[in-house]
A = this chain, B = another copy of it.
Amino acid sequence: MALDSLFDPNGIAVVGASATEGKIGYEAMRNAVEYDGPVYPVNPSSSGTVFDREFVPSVTEIDGDVDLVLSCVPGPVVPEVIEECGEAGIGAAVIFSGGFAEAGEDGERLQNRLVEAAAESDVHLLGPNTSGFLRPGSNLRATFATGTEDVPAGNVAIIAQSGGIAFATAFRAENDGRGVSAMVGLGNAANVGFREAVEHFDGDEETDAIALHVEGTDDARGLLETCRSASTPVVTYNVGEQDVGDFAESHTGSLTGDHKLYEAGFAQYGVPTVRSVGELVDAGIALADCPRPSGPNVGVVTAQAGPGIAITDRLKAAGATLPSLSEETQAVVEDVLPGITFSENPVDTGRPMPEFGEVVEAVARDENVDIVLVYELFEAGLGFPTDTLEGLPEATGKPIVFATGGSRRALEPELETMNACGIPTYTTPERGADAVAALVRYAKRNSRPAASASEVSDDE
């Protein structure tokens, strides 16, 4: 694909590489050498080696394949570096330095020169003013930031306008025991923007969902169309509900756009939107791990009423439908749970019990239900109904989302097992509800309508 030289390169050159710890050219080298391929430090003023690699004076003098340059040199020098990339047949470059469109008129002129150089030299640019990207699956860490080796490989691609948000999102995934297929900070997006990046990761084998952070774009319609036409599910975090225009413009040179326009457009196209880094990760994982929902009808099964009520409240606020369960399902539920507290949807078993998995399975197999949300506090004597739930998403073709609460020590091994079954897990009721809300919004792109709701309040 067009951006393979950027995101899946054969060979990397670090331009402005340095042997002085703390310098960007050193930190970028330290990350780059972990990559599963050749890495060349380039610096005309340095000799000897850094990380056991010999300095090369120019990218045009590298003896070997290089697809990608990491540019650690100051802004004014960058257009020249890009021209040399063109001469050397290098197809992509990451530009860490700032001082471009985010920094007034002089910077804008410099960025224009850079864009021209890239076009003439046929080089794909990430940035300028970016902290780079991660591809943990190939140990490719095209960044000067530290600590990124802790972010494991996963199946969600994070594409963020802000490098800071990109890292915040990737670390939030790591904190939750998850990883990313890619993490990209677009920075000023002089050349590779949302459209190019989304199209690339739509075709990426490791990526099952794409999570976007948008501060602003001058091509809102283009972004909407790109998200709509991607076959990989996309979820977006659009910052800028309030007026933060000046601060945002000083950041990446983009104005935050019309927030309401974004949100309405995304909703119409079945692209879920979220309100925080945490929700972005949680929704991305649900979209990546689950079968595609064929409708917005949610069956809720809870072992505790209070969390079930909180979930119902939040799902309804998000526009989800809680359909009536079929007579067949109700018969199964009543058989397992004679005289339970609330035998409609949500199904409330009152407490964890050995038959809990059976109830979940009956609801998952209900023809009125498109998505299942389960809540159960951890109970040591019982554990979770993993045996019953294993294979259920595949067998039913429906998303099954599991929310729970328990001590970290108790939950971690259990949730790892559950995740391995293709059932995403969340450690509060509301996080589970929000993840399901993203699935409901995504389902709008499919044809199946909402079933007649059980309307919890009007049922009796």
Contact = CB atoms under 8 A, between A and B. Distances in A.
Interface string A170-201: 01101100000000000000000000000000
A428 B306 contact: no
Contacts of A135: none
Contact of A277 (B146, B166, B304, B430): B430
Contact of A377 (B168, B278, B430): B168
B410 A147 contact: yes
B430 A250 contact: no
Contact of A460 (B165, B246, B348): B246
Contacts of A213: 306
A163 B164 CA distance: 39
A127 to B, nearest CB: 14
- Between A98, A151, A168, A378, the greatest number of chain B beta carbons within 10 A of the residue's beta carbon is seen for A168
A244 B172 contact: no
Nearest to A150: B407
Copies in the complex: 2
Interface in A230-258: 239-248, 250-252, 256
A348 B247 contact: yes
A145 B377 contact: yes
A279 to B, nearest CB: 8
Contact of A308 (B241, B247, B342): B247
Interface stretch (A39-47, A51-59, A265-273, A312-320): A312-320
A381 B160 CA distance: 25
Interface string A292-306: 000000000000111
B277 A310 contact: yes
A160 to B, nearest CB: 7
B163 A306 contact: yes
Nearest to A315: B242
Given A316-B242, A346-B247, A407 B175 contact: yes
B22 A381 contact: yes
Interface in A415-442: 427-431
Contacts of A411: 175
Contact of A247 (B150, B163, B309): B309
Contact of A312 (B247, B317, B459): B247
A196 to B, nearest CB: 20
A243 B459 CA distance: 12
A17 to B, nearest CB: 18
Contact of A405 (B172, B244, B310, B316): B172
A207 interface: no
B244 A167 contact: no
Given A241-B313, A305-B164, A306-B251, A246 B407 contact: no
A161 interface: yes
A34 interface: no
A251 B340 CA distance: 11
24 contacts: A21-B381, A147-B379, A147-B406, A150-B409, A150-B410, A161-B306, A162-B305, A162-B306, A164-B377, A166-B306, A167-B405, A168-B405, A168-B428, A171-B405, A171-B407, A239-B313, A242-B312, A244-B316, A246-B457, A246-B460, A247-B308, A251-B306, A276-B428, A277-B310
